[in-house]
Amino acid sequence: MTHEEFEGKAFDGLKLYFQCWNTDEPQKGIICLAHGLGEHSGRYTEWATWLNQAGYSVLAFDLRGHGKSEGQRGHISSFNDYLEDTGLLLHEADDKFPGIPHFLYGHSLGAIITWTYVLRHKPLIAGVVLTALDYRNSLEEQRVKVWISKILGVLAPKITISSGLDPQSISRDPAVVTAYINDPLVHGQLTLGFAKSSMDAIAWANQHTHEWDLPVLVMHGELDTLGYVIGSQEFASRVKGDCTLKIWPGLYHEVHNEPEKAQVFEYLHDWLDKHSHVE
């Protein structure tokens, strides 16, 4: 495995941090990864190492306002900012890894971005992996907060609030939780503009999910309290083509960081191989 770090320039001039884990094995495909809210791509180093050992290179970036990328923490002016940045991720993959299968892999917020990007831009790729597609969550029950976000998200979009994410809910592995809490690149912030833009994007994607036309693996921890499993189930029920839904009994939000992660990886590995046309 070789590791590469580089800088990409977004459509609006913002500097985005990219990193790539290159496999030393015969190349089966390239995984383009989008992480979740408040975290960063560096938290996927172990996952990328496992994928490298299975013959897949991994290209990831820190979302704007996250990790080592520029931008106000947890803020976007429009959800289209994320979609343009995802287009840049795929462009970098095309340049670095021509002629092999490309996959988009989104976790949590990254899953919502990937979901929306695929529906809007119809990329010509081999498939998609969505984990913890958390558009159904506890925010739905907080009607006042939703109303405030919709109003103030227009009037005062850069006001920052806490994401309210409980680190104990990401994994049942205490070491993962401790590392998350002590990670200086992790933050618990979002802005009202982010909240409104995300809600609008989810509403649009929900209306267009029946147009989905790529192979997709959807995985969700059964006991995920950050994003309810029903969201992944609803998404999968609306996809008419090649869609595999895997609910992991007893697992929390980050199925790739749970004690059963080796089982999760083998399931992912098998799906990728089938969709990379590996015999």
Q: Would you say 112 and 139 are in contact if contact means Cβ atoms under 8 Å apart? A: no
Distances (CA, A) of 76 to 8, 63, 238: 17, 10, 29
C-alpha 101/C-alpha 27 separation (Å) is 9
85 classed as catalytic: no
| Residue among 253, 256, 269, 275 flagged as catalytic | 253
Residue 61's nearest CA partner among 128, 113, 8 is 8
**Catalytic residue selected from 41, 57, 69, 108:** 108
220 residue type, one letter: H
Set 224, 232, 256, 269: catalytic member: 224
Q: Establish whether 162 is a catalytic residue.
A: no
Is 163 marked active-site? no
Residues labelled as active-site residues: 108, 224, 253
